[in-house]
Amino acid sequence: MGDGTQDATRPPSTGTASGFGRLLVVVYGVFALAASARAGYQLATEFDQAPVAYLLSAFAAAVYAVATIALARATPRSHRVATIAVLIELVGVLVVGAISLAVPSLFPEATVWSRFGQGYGYVPLVLPFVGLWWLRRHRPS
Amino acid sequence: MDVALAVAIGAALLAAVAYLVSAARGMEPVRWHLWVAGVVEAMLLVVATLVLIGLAGGGQPGSPAVTLLYVVASLVTLPLALVWALGEPTRWSVAVLGGASLTVAILLVRLGQVVAGG
C-alpha cells in the first residue's frame, strides 16, 4: 500500500501491460469474457436461428481473447500478436458495423460489433483505436 | 430482491466514481480502496443469495442458466480485478478497480433484466 501519492522515484514502467495498459487489459478481458459467454450460450441454445451472427460472436470473442492475453504478456512477440488481433478487431467492427446498418436482415440477432457496437456503448468502436495507439507507444525496441 | 439489487447497483456506481476520482487525482491504492471493494462484494453476496433463493423457489420468468452466469460474473469481477490491480500498484490499479466496479454495475442491471425474463 502506498501513501496515496505517486512515487516519483519509481522508474517509468514499460510494456503493454503496465500503467494505462493495466486498465486496457481489463477492458479487453471484460469484452473477451462477455463475448465468449454470449457466443457460447447462443451457439449452445439457438444456433439455428442466426448462425452467421452467432459464429461472428464466437469469432469476435476469440479475437478479444487473443488481444487480452497478448497485451497482458507484453513480450516482443506478443506485441505483434496483439497488433494483428487489434487490427482484425478494427476491421471487424467497421465492416460488421457497416453491413449491419446497410443490410440489417443479415444480422437478425445482435453481435458485439453490430451497429458499430451500439449495444455496448460504442466501446467496441473506440477500443481498437485506443489499442493501436497504446501498441504504437510501446513498440519493442 | 429488487431493493437489494438497486442498493448494490448504487453502491457499485458510487465505488466506481470514488475509484475514478482517486485515479484522476493520481492516488495509488490505499486501505479504503480495499474496504470499498469489500463492501460492494458483500452486497453482491446478498444479491446472489436472494437470486439463488428465488431460483430454487421457481416461478421466475428468466432463464436459470443465464441468471447463474450473471451471478457468478458479478461475484468474480472485483476479486479478479483486485489481484490484477495490486500486481502493479499505481494510479492505474485504482482505475482498474473503477472499471471493474462499473462492469459490476452493468452486470447487475443485466441480471435484473434477465431475472425479469428480459
- Partners of A3 on chain B (C-beta within 8 Å) are 28, 30
Instruction: Decide if A58 contacts A112 (C-beta within 8 A).
Output: no
How many A×B Cβ pairs under 8 Å? 58
Q: What DSSP designation does B89 have?
A: -
Q: Does B18 touch chain A (CB under 8 A)?
A: no
Q: Does B31 touch chain A (CB under 8 A)?
A: yes
Q: For the segment B78-110, what is each residue's pLDDT rounded down to a tens digit? A: 999 999 999 989 999 999 999 999 999 999 999
Q: Is the ipTM of this complex over 0.90?
A: no
Place of cell 428468466: B62
Q: For the segment A81-97, what is each residue's pLDDT rounded down to a tens digit? A: 999 999 999 999 999 99
With CA atoms as reference, report the closest residue to A28 among A115, A138, A135, A137: A135
Q: Which residues contact A3 (CB under 8 A, 6 or more apart)?
A: B28, B30
- Partners of B89 on chain A (C-beta within 8 Å) are 1-2
pLDDT computed for residue A92 by the predictor: 95
Instruction: Decide if B109 contacts B13 (C-beta within 8 A).
Output: no
Give the closest of A19, A27, A37 to B69, CB-based. Answer: A37
Decide if pLDDT at A9 tops 60: no
- Partners of B71 on chain A (C-beta within 8 Å) are none
Q: Which residues contact B61 (CB under 8 A, 6 or more apart)?
A: B115, B116, B117
Produce one character per residue of A114-137: b if its CB has 16 or more CB atoms within 10 Å, e if not. Answer: bbbbeebeeebbebbebbbebbee
Q: What is the number of structural domains in chain B?
A: 1
Cα separation, B8 vs B2, whole angstroms: 10
Q: Place A14 in a pLDDT band, splitting at 50, 70 and 90.
A: low
Instruction: Decide if B20 contacts B95 (C-beta within 8 A).
Output: yes
Q: What is the pTM of this model?
A: 0.88
- Count the residues in chain B: 118
Domain coverage including residue B109? 2-116
Contact A4 B28 (CB under 8 A): yes
Cα separation, A34 vs A12, whole angstroms: 32
Contact B26 A1 (CB under 8 A): no
Start-to-end Cα distance in chain A:
32
